[in-house]
Amino acid sequence: MRLDIITVLPEMIEGFFNCSILKRAQNKGIVEISIHNLRDYTTDRYRKVDDYPFGGCAGMVMKIEPIDRCISALKAERSYDEVIFTTPDGEQFTQKTANALSLCNNLIILCGHFKGIDYRIREHLITKEISIGDYVLTGGELAAAAIADAVIRVIPGVISDEQSALSDSFQDNLLAPPVYTRPADYKGWKVPDVLLSGHEAKIRDWEFQQSLERTQRLRPDLLVDSINDNILHDGK
């Protein structure tokens, strides 16, 4: 997968992509990540990427030209599956979206900033608008990093034990079961006996019951989503 991120603050996320699983995914040649400074695409001598909004409301708006120039330059090199814009009024990002995006070959993520971007960009260039939650961040960079991380870690081969990405919380609309490691008894705080029993079927069953119980208690909305998904699937 090739991922191009367009931002006015490249330094905010560069370090993020040079660590841990994301760095390994790049070293293995599974993903190529390129971060573009929007200011490199201005013709303005002050490298300005924002301007006052028409209509006189407060805040600055990201200008159309540098964004169009940057996206056009990228599209001249290859075709993209999606041009994503990170914005609090986008569709809510979920594991399902991450899984679907992990199947793409080429993605662009445009990070929003200031009061917003000239709406014509959203109308003509953006194919998907994503929010990572109902709160407003200073910019879309953290959202882009979160999306990239969630997408890349489910690409086959990125995590060596593939099972470990598949057993994450939210895969199958269930929260993950609790996990433990040595020592089995710490100050009298004991690991559940079943995990030490060596009985594979009983362990899997215990994990599933734990997942179900934690989801019911902490995120009952996920079970409702799951039921609705199944009804939709059965209806097809």
Q: Which residues bind ligand ADE (CB under 6 A)?
A: 86-88, 112, 131-133, 135-137, 140, 143
Closest distance to ligand ADE from the beta carbon of 57 (Å):
18
180 CB contacts (<8 Å, ≥6 apart)? 191, 192, 195
Closest distance to ligand ADE from the beta carbon of 92 (Å):
9
The residue of the chain with the least Cβ separation from ligand ADE equals: 143
Phi, psi of 106 (to 5 degrees): -135, 130
CA 76, distance to chain mean position in Å, is 25
Closest distance to ligand ADE from the beta carbon of 99 (Å):
19
Q: Which is nearer to ligand ADE, 87 or 106 (CB)?
A: 87
Q: Which is nearer to ligand ADE, 133 or 192 (CB)?
A: 133
Closest distance to ligand ADE from the beta carbon of 138 (Å):
7
Residue bearing tokens 């169009």: 68
Q: In terms of C-beta density within 10 A (0-12 exposed, 13-18 middle, 19 or more buried), how is residue 86 classed?
A: buried
Question: d(Cα 140, Cα 86) in Å, to the nearest integer?
Answer: 5
Q: Which is nearer to ligand ADE, 69 or 128 (CB)?
A: 128
